[in-house]
Amino acid sequence: MAALAAAKEANKRAGDQKRYLLKASTTIYKGALVCLDTNGLAVPAADTASFIFVGVAYETATSAASGSTYVTVEKRGEYEMVTSSATQATTGKKVFASDDQTVATSTTNSIAVGYVGEFVSATKVRVRIDNLVQ
């Protein structure tokens, strides 16, 4: 491609949300942690090798066939998430996806979600996802 010779519209997107195609026969619920599988298709987050965390579902979406439906995902912010055994000392620590609503400070496959911004209770933390989302 040649360099620009005149101004053009760059079609900027704010970056707070992005759409991803869903894997076949998949439902992702609003508020769920969302990952991409090895084919680049959106799936509910899980502690699965090679999954890549991409954000929190802005809406509920269900697909019948791969590539037939999109899910909109929030890419920035701090979200309340479930955890198994948080303490005040968990604040500031990196957390990883256990499933589509649960994070932990250690998991088998280490699918990074974000950093704990606030300890809410022994079973809830607020997680900042901005620095780890793809």
Does the pLDDT at position 118 exceed 80?
yes
Does the pLDDT at position 103 exceed 90?
yes
Under DSSP, the state recorded for 128 is: E
Q: How many CA atoms lie within 13 A of 125 on its CB side?
A: 29
Report the chain's terminal Cα–Cα distance, integer Å.
27
Neighbouring residues of 115: CB distance < 8 A, sequence distance ≥ 6? 92, 93, 94, 95, 127, 128, 131, 132
Q: What is the average pLDDT across 107-130? A: 96
Q: What is the average pLDDT across 105-117? A: 96
**Lowest-pLDDT choice from 6-20, 53-67, 70-84, 110-124:** 6-20
Backbone angles phi, psi at 15, to 5 degrees: 95, -5
Q: Which residue has the higher pLDDT, 26 or 14?
A: 26
Task: At 66, list the tokens.
Answer: 């791969």
Under DSSP, the state recorded for 116 is: E
Q: What is the pLDDT of residue 132?
A: 64
Q: What is the pLDDT of residue 114?
A: 96
Does the pLDDT at position 133 exceed 70?
no
Whether the CB-CB separation of 20 and 42 falls below 8 Å is answered with yes
At 20-67, the pLDDT tens digits run 999 999 999 999 999 999 999 999 999 999 999 999 999 999 998 877
Task: Tell me which residue of 132, 105, 109 sits closest to 49, measured CA to CA.
Answer: 109
